[in-house]
Amino acid sequence: MTTSSSSYNKVAVVTGSSSGIGYETSLILARNGFLTYATMRNFNKSENIKSIAAKENLPIRITHLDVTDNVSINNTVQTILSETGRLDVLVNDAGYVLDGAFEDLSMDEIKAQYETNVFGLIRTTQAALPAMRKQKSGVIVNISSIAGRFGYPDGTAYVSTKFAVEGLSESMAYELEPFGIKVILIEPGVIKTNILNSVVIAKKSQDPNSPYTQMKQKVASSFERMMQDASSSELVDKVVLEAVTNQNPNLRYVAGKDAETWLDAKRNMSDGEFYKVMKQI
């Protein structure tokens, strides 16, 4: 895009913009006047957003960013600041699902999951904060999951990363408020995105002789049923837009009727009662 930076009051950066929630969030922010840097690790996946941005003449700049690479992150942030002089919104969406029972997970697989879902978020946020503190304003949006509020079988690695994001974000909110910086958690339920195409299945979990095979098959069947009634990714990006344009946003936003139902059950049941419900998944 050949948009002028001075034409826009707000600058947004979205990680994981090649597809799913990050893709939709980049589009909705740009359609609502944000000069949006849609970042992604794999530039080969940029054609769709590039085509829509050109067709609608949206203020989107497609940029390479690998959240597991400090140099990539720092270069991207410095480029944005040199081009615009500010950074108003950071949406941390980059992430993936590692599927498999805990015993079937290798340490390398767990570390890789954390490198993207947790440490990637930490890296990008730390890179953005000095500019936000200097301008005395900013919004950090961390795309968590309703899985950051309770666990489920076969999701130990992914769930634990989202629990980490929840605790990290809540603690950061206290630290950053005095500098005019808001921290927001978005907690989607089951969403119809192509995240299933990027699910990494643990190697041991792929072995039919795994002691957890029967459980895994049961969870997979339940998830397929949930996907039939899942919310669209557009629901999540609308929640993000509402949050970042609100002068006094909530710390947490739940996205999806299923997520609201589960959370209500979690609040109103004892741990034992909720455990029995989750065992049926």
Residue 32: C-alpha distances to residues 8, 44, 136, 176, 202 (Å): 10, 26, 23, 26, 40
What's the Rg (C-alpha) of the chain? 19
Catalytic residue among 8, 158, 212, 253, which? 158
Let me know if 158 is a catalytic residue: yes
What is the rounded CA–CA span in Å between residue 71 and residue 124? 11
User: How many CA atoms does the CB half-sphere of 234 hold within 13 Å?
Assistant: 1
Helix (H) or strand (E) holding 75: helix 70-84
Question: Strand, coil or helix: what is 24?
Answer: helix
The Cβ of residue 35 has, within 10 Å, a number of other Cβ atoms equal to 27
Q: Which residues are catalytic?
A: 158
